[in-house]
């Protein structure tokens, strides 16, 4: 015979259901907290990845800026060598040596990605050219570069030094 103080699970469904309900609520809260933590971790990972990309891009830009400044200084030497070669007496052996140095410097700049701007006969572009003189011209259309006074150079997409030009008006 059954003791009156002993209860079977069928006798007390209300008390067990309340305990189950409490555990289910705790489990749901734990799942919600875990999902929140996972979302926060994923967001932090994405922010860190973006930070690394931004830092790499900033470093590349800074390196390109420094590189551009150094190369610009070499362009002044190129100008001086070109002037010396224009005024070189014919058959001068020293002049031939200067020309070899000039070619070597140009090949160095080319290896670094520096290219000459060739604006002669092209439409004037304020991003690439610096208009020093405007002159009337019957031979050229208005806004066309008629003479290059100082060579311009670019490094990749970036203009290191605009070409100083004469423009037809």
Q: Where are the domains of the chain?
A: 116-169
In tens digits, what is the pLDDT along the chain, a chain of 169 residues? 445 555 555 555 555 688 888 899 999 999 999 999 999 999 999 999 999 999 999 999 999 899 999 999 999 999 999 999 988 888 778 888 889 999 999 999 999 999 999 999 999 999 999 999 999 988 889 999 999 999 999 998 899 999 999 999 8
Residue-level pLDDT at 17: 86
Q: Which CATH code for domain 116-169?
A: 2.30.22.10
CA distance 167 to 147: 7
What is the reported pLDDT for 156? Answer: 86
In tens, the pLDDT along 10-33 reads: 555 555 688 888 899 999 999 999
DSSP string over the chain: ---TT---TTT-HHHHHHHHHHHHHHHHHHHHHHHHHHHHHHHHHHHHHHHHHHHHHHHHHHHHHHHHHHHHHHHHHHHHHHHHHHTPPTT-HHHHHHHHHHHHHHHHHHHTTEEEE--TTSBP-TTTEEEEEEE--SSS-TTBEEEEEE-EEEETTEEEEPEEEEEE-
């Amino acid at each position: 015979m059954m003791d009156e103080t002993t209860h079977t699970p069928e006798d007390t469904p209300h008390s067990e259901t309340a305990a189950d309900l409490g555990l289910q609520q705790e489990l749901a809260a734990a799942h919600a907290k875990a999902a929140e933590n996972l979302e926060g971790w994923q967001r932090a990972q994405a922010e860190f990845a973006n930070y690394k990309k931004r830092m790499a891009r900033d470093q590349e830009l800074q390196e390109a800026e420094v590189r551009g400044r150094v190369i610009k200084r070499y362009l002044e030497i190129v100008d001086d060598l070109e002037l010396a070669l224009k005024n070189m007496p014919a058959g001068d052996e020293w002049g031939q040596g200067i020309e070899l140095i000039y070619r070597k410097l140009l090949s160095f700049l080319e290896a670094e990605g520096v290219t000459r701007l060739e604006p002669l006969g092209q439409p004037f572009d304020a991003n690439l050219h610096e208009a020093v003189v405007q002159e009337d011209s019957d031979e050229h259309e208005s806004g066309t570069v008629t003479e290059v006074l100082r060579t311009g150079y670019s490094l990749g997409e970036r203009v290191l030094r605009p070409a100083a030009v004469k423009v037809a008006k």
